[in-house]
Every structure is written in structure tokens, then in C-alpha cells.
Structure 1
Amino acid sequence: MKTKQPSSAVRLTFLGLACAMAMAAPARAVEMEVEVGGLTQTEGRVMVGVFTDAGSWLKKAITGGSAEAIQQKDGKLLIKLQDLPEGSLALSVFHDVNGNGKLDSNAMGMPKEPYGFSNNAAGSFGPPKFEKAVFEVKPGSRIAVQLN
């Protein structure tokens, strides 16, 4: 008796599912430290936003972290970030001095609270582009960000 072979459509479906499952496997989650410098006040919290692409840059962070500014030593504060995807990331950091959970700005849109970005990236007439702030994160990475 002759056994029936699966059709090519069935084989392609199984192959597609296998590929999808392999691609859906989560990337290795890593931890890193952010050393924030330039703190001049002990009130409020220092907030870090983590971004993975230019489309979400400064709009929707994938994760973040924070620490009370009172924990600083000599104007520096260490914040640990966990469960980050390995690869290209960019950070936005600000000192929420008044504790309202956002970066306050004046009527012209200029920040009134200290802020900074990974790579100490700076923009002209606004925040820097994602490409200026992006860096490669690996397990055990540490990056320094200076607040303006």
C-alpha cells in the first residue's frame, strides 16, 4: 500500500509555523546600569525611558526605571534597568524635581527640569534624533548620561 505524502501546501504551512515559532522566541533579556550625572537637587525622582526605534522615540517607551534623587552621591545616581532586549536602544532621562511624573516645560516648550539622552546626544531646536542617542546594549552594560 502506498502512503500518501503531505501536499506542498501542508509542508509550507508547517515550515511557516516552525519559522514563526522560532522568530517568536524572546530575545535574551539583559540588565544594565545607567549612571546619571549632573544632579544638583535631592528632591523628586530621576526617570529613565527606554526606546527601541525611531518611530516610538520620546513617545512610547518600552520600559524604564527610576530612583529617588535623594539617593545621589556627589551629583551622581545609579539606576538599574532590567529585562531589556539585547541590541540597539536609546535612553531619555530627566529629573522630575517636583514629582509630577512628567518633564515640565515652559510656554515655548523648553524643558524646565534637567534632562539628558544616551550618548549625551543633543538636538538643535529640539530633542536629538533617535539615531544620535542609539547604542548597543549587551549583558552587564553601563552607560553614563549627563543631565543638562
Structure 2
Amino acid sequence: MNVRSGVGLLLAAVVWNTAASAAEVQVVVDGVKHDKGAVKVALYVDPATFRKEDKALARQSQPAHVGQQVFTFSGLAAGRYAVVVYHDENGNGEMDRFLGMIPTEGYGLSNNPEVSGPPKFEPSAFDVSEGAPTKTVVELRY
């Protein structure tokens, strides 16, 4: 084997190993009530930035449709994550709130914790490990 083919095999092994060891999170959103607007999912790894959408580790959006929607986040490191989901019914790009506190659009959190006051990271947090995808089901509340 020459040097070029050896380097090529080494690079292929590194790429394969990185892809094989990356974690994946599948977020299943249940209970979308109508097809207006979009369903948005934000994935967090840092409790200090939890619920600050612009500081999420990753975000995804899909046009809303009634029932269930699935979002997949790939290439993640193993660790502890939490998810915030909301149905941006009016398409203004943010979760609307009454008096700046109470959501007026559908929303949900990983682990579906009971919430009194601003949600915290830990009740919504779940562990992700390398290998098989981690699935979390989020029930929207309207």
C-alpha cells in the first residue's frame, strides 16, 4: 500500500468513526391542533441558556399539520439535553405570551413536566448516548 492510499484509508476511518459515534435525538411532537403557522423545536444542552431560543444548540421548524410531527437532530455529542417546542400559530417567529408570561400558543417540553412558573432545564432534561437514537415525545398544551 502506498502513502496516498494509507492516508485515504485513515481519513475514511476517522470519518466513519465520527459518524458512527455521533448521537441522534428524535423529537416526536404530539397534539398539533391545526395547520396554521409552524411548529418549532429548540434543543438545549446548557441550563443557563434554556428557553432562550436564540441560544439553543440547534433549532428546527416545519409547517404545522394536524396530529404528530417528527424532528431529528443528528451529529450530537453524548450528554444531557432538553427540548422546548411551540406552535407558532400566527407565524411571527416567537412564542406569544399573555402578560409576557403565560403562553397563548401551543407549547411543550421534553418529559412533559408539570410547570408552575418559568420552566427549568432539569425537569425537561434527558440523557443521550452514542449509538441508537434517543426519542422524546412532547405533548403540546394549548
TM-score bracket, shorter-length normalisation: 0.7 to 0.9
* Equivalent position to 2:81, from 89, 105, 118: 89
The answer to whether 1:112 aligns with 2:104 is yes
Change (3 A) 1:61 1:108: closer
The answer to whether 1:39 aligns with 2:32 is yes
| Secondary structure of the structure 2 residue equivalent to 1:102 | coil
1:5-52 Cα shifts (integer Å, max 9, x gaps): xxxxxxxxxxxxxxxxxxxxx9x5322211101111111111111111
* Equivalent position to 1:121, from 113, 116, 130: 113
TM-score, normalised to structure 1, is: 0.73
| Secondary structure of the structure 2 residue equivalent to 1:55 | helix
1:87-119 Cα shifts (integer Å, max 9, x gaps): 100000001111111101122521110000000
* Equivalent position to 2:22, from 26, 29, 38: 29
Unaligned runs of 5+ in 2: 1-17
In the alignment, what sits opposite 2:138?
145
More strand by share: 2
Query: How far apart, CA to CA, are the structure 2 residues paired with 1:47 and 1:84?
Result: 19
Aligned residues: CA RMSD: 1.9
Q: In structure 1, what residue type is equivalent to 2:69?
A: L
Query: How far apart, CA to CA, are the structure 1 residues paired with 2:135 and 2:70?
Result: 10
Query: How far apart, CA to CA, are the structure 2 residues paired with 1:39 and 1:146?
Result: 9
Stretches of 4+ moved more than 4 A in 1?
none
* Equivalent position to 1:131, from 113, 116, 122: 122
Unaligned runs of 5+ in 1: 1-25
* Equivalent position to 1:55, from 38, 43, 48: 48
Q: In structure 2, what residue type is equivalent to 1:48?
A: V
Higher alpha-carbon Rg: 1
Aligned-residue offset at 1:84? 2.4
Aligned residues between the structures: 119
The answer to whether 1:67 aligns with 2:62 is yes
